[in-house]
Amino acid sequence: MNLHAEASLNRKFVEMAQLMNVYLNHFPRHEKYALSQQIRTAAYDVYSLIVEAQKRYHKKTTLTQLDIRHEQLRMLINLAFELGYFAFKDGTPSEEKPAKLARHRHLAISRLVDELGRMIGGWLVSERQREAS
């Protein structure tokens, strides 16, 4: 992965983290130290593994860990959607079309997480090809 691709991966993560934190701040109060904290931790772990993979010479193990942690982040976000937490506003259920709000928020964050995943997957493939040659 070249320097430009690493910078775009970092920018994409920051964009995703900013939106994610806004949405997590609206989760129900009883989830403040539960699922929302696990989602934040998973996201920050993904960022830590991105930085670690950028600095390591042998990246395969770190990239595999990154891919796994990214998938865990995706599943936690999907769980939050299924539990209806994206329909909350300021810790209480939204009164204006909660299902539409939840779908919009989930779609917005899922797109960013998916794009991040595609970038990670591309990096993993390029590393495997580099090691094979």
Instruction: For each of the domains in the chain, give its residue range(s) and CATH number, in order of start.
Output: 3-132 (1.20.1440.60)
pLDDT greater than 60 at residue 3: no
Residue pLDDT, tens place only, 87-104 = 998 888 877 788 899 999
Residue pLDDT, tens place only, 34-82 = 999 999 999 999 999 999 999 998 899 999 999 999 999 999 999 999 9
Query: φ, ψ for residue 97 (rounded to 5)?
Result: 45, 65
In 3D space, the residue among 92, 74, 110, 108 whose CA is nearest the CA of residue 28 turns out to be 92
Q: Which pLDDT band, with edges at 50, 70 and 90, does 32 fall under?
A: confident
Q: Which pLDDT band, with edges at 50, 70 and 90, does 9 fall under?
A: very high
User: What distance in Å separates the CA atoms of residue 117 and residue 12, rounded to the nearest whole number?
Assistant: 10
Q: Which pLDDT band, with edges at 50, 70 and 90, does 19 fall under?
A: very high
